[in-house]
């Protein structure tokens, strides 16, 4: 969510259909007999699976996705140091990425040094909170999320997970390279109203921060103070009907990290 975050290093195998810009072209070479005789299918990229029952609400990583307080986007984050084209036995990619990039989760140590020092990292987050029934709501498009707006949403008691779709989705901010400080998020009074008047334990939103830029730290402090609310940021919520879904979010088990990329899906209830 914020700048100057520790980078995430991963060594992962990558399928042949990797983004071309992440792997610069190699010099021309004669195709092998196997390559000449093999028909390679084109991969299918899906936002919905299982006949539309499973909805992926995670943004895929790309070089021109927005990065905190940057006009240049994320930039190159994927390299292919071990390549079969260059004689390696397998393709192996390396990734270098700030932990608060794209769809990600915040842990209490993100804004509280004593929690960071005590080890309240992403590996300490409760998977029961990150998985379960969730309500997707449309937020009025004329303001940040204030106490007055929170009250107007009439979120029922007992609802523990809420995904807030805002003007950020309408403006397609997560699809723009340049970071935009005018994104919609929680003001401090809205965050405090949520803590005092609802049973919400997971807050999801559709840009890089749940907190409005002008109330960045105060709102985070309110929401993360008691360590019982989990923040999921950068969700992809377009073209999904408001309502109740089964939410499943899994961060990486990064001990010592205050944030992590996260894969989130919604599953429609059976009718």
- SS3 of 33, please? helix
C-alpha 231: how far from chain center: 10
The pairing of strands 92-98 and 78-82 is antiparallel
Architecture of domain 104-267: 3-Layer(bba) Sandwich (3.50)
d(CA 244, CA 241): 9
How large a percentage of the chain has pLDDT more than 90? 84
Domain borders along the chain are 104-267
Q: State pTM to two decimals.
A: 0.85
Residue labelled with tokens 């006949």: 51
Of 157, 233, 231, the closest CA to residue 191 belongs to 231
User: What are the tens digits of pLDDT across the range 68-81?
Assistant: 999 999 999 999 99
**CB half-sphere exposure, 264, CA atoms < 13 A:** 33
- What pLDDT, on a 0 to 100 scale, did the predictor assign at position 12? 39
User: What are the tens digits of pLDDT across the range 28-68?
Assistant: 444 444 555 689 999 999 999 999 999 999 999 999 999 99
User: What are the tens digits of pLDDT across the range 213-270?
Assistant: 999 999 999 999 999 999 999 999 999 999 999 999 999 999 999 999 999 999 998 7
Local confidence band at 178 (pLDDT 50, 70, 90 cut-offs): very high
């Amino acid at each position: 969510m914020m700048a100057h975050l520790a980078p995430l290093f991963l060594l992962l195998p990558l399928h042949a259909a990797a983004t071309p810009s992440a792997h610069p072209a190699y010099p021309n070479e004669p195709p092998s007999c196997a390559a000449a005789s093999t028909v390679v299918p084109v991969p299918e990229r899906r936002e919905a699976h299982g006949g539309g029952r499973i909805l992926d609400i995670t943004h895929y990583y790309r070089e021109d996705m927005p990065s905190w307080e940057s006009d240049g986007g994320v930039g190159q984050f994927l390299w292919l140091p071990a390549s079969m084209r260059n004689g390696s036995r397998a393709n192996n990619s390396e990734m270098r990425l700030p932990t608060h990039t794209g769809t990600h989760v915040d842990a209490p140590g993100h804004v509280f040094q004593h929690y960071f020092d005590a080890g309240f990292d992403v590996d300490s987050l409760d998977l029961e909170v990150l998985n379960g029934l969730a309500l997707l709501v449309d937020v009025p498009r004329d303001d940040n999320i204030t106490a007055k707006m929170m009250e107007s949403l009439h979120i029922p008691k007992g609802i523990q997970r809420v995904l807030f779709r805002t003007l950020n989705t309408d403006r397609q901010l997560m699809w723009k390279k340049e970071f935009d400080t005018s994104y919609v998020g929680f003001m401090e009074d809205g965050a405090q109203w949520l803590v005092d008047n609802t049973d919400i334990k997971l807050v999801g939103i559709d840009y890089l921060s749940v907190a409005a830029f002008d109330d960045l730290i105060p709102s985070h402090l309110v929401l993360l103070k008691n360590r019982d609310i989990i923040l999921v940021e950068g969700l992809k919520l377009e073209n999904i009907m408001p309502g109740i879904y089964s939410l499943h979010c899994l961060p990486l088990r990064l001990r010592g990290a205050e944030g992590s990329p996260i894969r989130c899906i919604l599953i429609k209830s059976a009718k």
